[in-house]
Amino acid sequence: MGATESRPGLNKYLEHLCNRDSLLVWRLDRLGRSLKYLLTLIEDFNASGIGFVSLTESIDTATSGGKLVFSIFGAIALI
């Protein structure tokens, strides 16, 4: 992770997300600094019915294209 692993503001925000909500970020690195963390978080979102949108990377996990991008990220992370 980055300089600090403790992110109380983010954790508090994530606690308020619920089914049919979407988390919108400017860039992927604003949410997580490691691919493994991002993949885990997005997987948890999907299981809870929460969407994810990253503006800079044009990723929206509510769409099939966004799901494909994260599937590719997951495959790359396994290499």
Residue 7 domain-assigned (yes or no):
no
Region 55-69: mean pLDDT is: 91
For residues 68 and 71, what is the distance between their CA atoms, to the nearest angstrom?
Answer: 5
Q: Higher confidence at residue 24 or residue 4?
A: 24
| Residue 27 covered by a domain | yes
Pairing of strands 59-60, 51-54: antiparallel
User: Is residue 70 in a domain?
Assistant: yes
Domain of 57 in residue numbering reads as 22-78
Residue 51: give its domain's CATH number.
3.40.50.1390
pLDDT over threshold 70, residue 4: no
Supply the pLDDT for residue 1.
45
pTM: 0.81
Number of compact structural domains in the chain: 1
**12 lies in some domain:** no
pLDDT in tens, 8-57: 988 899 999 999 999 999 998 899 888 888 889 999 999 999 999 999 98
Which pLDDT score is estimated for 41? 92
